[in-house]
Amino acid sequence: MFQGSSNPFEIFFYWDEILTGFIMTMWLYGWALVIGFMVGLSLAILRQYGGRFLSPIATTYIEVVRGTPMLVQLWLIYSILLIPLGRWTIYSNFTLFGRDITVVFFNARIIVCIVTLGLNSSAYQAEYLRGAILSVSAGQLIAAQSLGMSKVAGIRHIVLPQALRRVIPSWSNEASYLPKYTVIVSIIGVADIFNQAKNIGFDTLLYFPVYIFVAIIFVILISLISKLLNTIHKRTRIPGL
């Protein structure tokens, strides 16, 4: 009924779709960031301290992931995981301002996306984390060992607390760019904000306004994330340094 409308504000008639799209984008982003961080930290530690056997494995993983397009990674994981995962959905229904809203948390496609985004991000986060680990002087780990601490304890209590503070400025690149990368999921039909915008555009032909609106949302989101991390960085500063 809104086909061919010329009033750009009519995109807001579809606010519920934009909302569920936004929730999906943030949901994927959150998972990708957390998985990327945990896997990335493990990779960074393995690459740095893994020795002759594990270190090259971590290095290879990082280089392969960073060296291939995410689209290829998405298709690969999609074709490996989609069928074994089966058909099921975990979702929630509620009514908001007279609209029935369905938020889907998990299904096979969403898991494919979370795994892809998380594993992809882990390779980048690993490199930021490794840079931060390298910036902690090696002498401190030696000093910890000279006190009788094991190398693992030294890494845990001396290297990581410093590396995790130092990584924040470079890590915030990944944290603030990652929301943009999630739009790739629309390719396999996950209803993120970009996919919803595309559908609204298809219905109304208001492609331009709806994409501009989504762009504005991303700009605001990314600046908020940067600001937040900046504050955290300042709060965790080591006095005197």
Partner 1 sequence: MVNLEEPVLKVVDLWKSYGKLEVLKGISFELKKQEVKVIFGPSGSGKSTLLRCINMLDPPQKGEVYLSGINLMDKNVNLNKLRSKIGMVFQHFNLFSHLKAIDNVSLGLRRVKGMSKDLAKQKALEALKRVKLADRANHYPAELSGGQQQRVGIARALAMDPEIILFDEPTSALDPELIGEVLQVMLDIAKTGTTMVVVTHEMGFARAVASEMIYIENGLIVERGIPNHFFESPKSERVKHFLRQIDVLYGKHEDLIKIEKEK
Which residues bind to partner 1, rule: CB under 8 A? Answer: 136-137, 139-140, 142-150, 153, 157-158, 161-162, 165, 238-241
| Contacts of residue 149, Cβ cutoff 8 Å, sequence gap at least 6 | 157, 158
Locate the DSSP E strands across 80-145.
Answer: 89-96, 99-107
Nearer to partner 1, 30 or 161 (CB): 161
Which of 98, 139 has the CB closer to partner 1? 139
Query: Tokens at residue 72, please?
Result: 């290829």
Q: How far is the CB of 127 from partner 1 (least distance, A)?
A: 22
Alpha-carbon distance of 224 to 186, in angstroms, equals: 24
CB atoms within 10 A of CB 54: 14
Q: Which residues contact 135 (CB under 8 A, 6 or more apart)?
A: 163, 166
User: Smallest gap, in angstroms, from Cβ of residue 27 to partner 1?
Assistant: 34
Residue 192: count of CB within 10 angstroms of its CB: 27
Strand-pairing partners, residue 205, are: none
Q: How far apart are CA 184 and CA 200, in angstroms?
A: 18
Which residues fall within 8 angstroms of residue 81, CB to CB, at 6 or more apart?
108, 111, 112, 115
Please state the closest distance from residue 22 (CB atom) to partner 1, in A.
38
Nearer to partner 1, 1 or 241 (CB): 241
Q: Measured from the CB of residue 232, what is the shortest distance to partner 1 in angstroms?
A: 15
Would you say 68 or 146 has its CB closer to partner 1? 146
Nearer to partner 1, 64 or 152 (CB): 152
Q: How far is the CB of 154 from partner 1 (least distance, A)?
A: 9
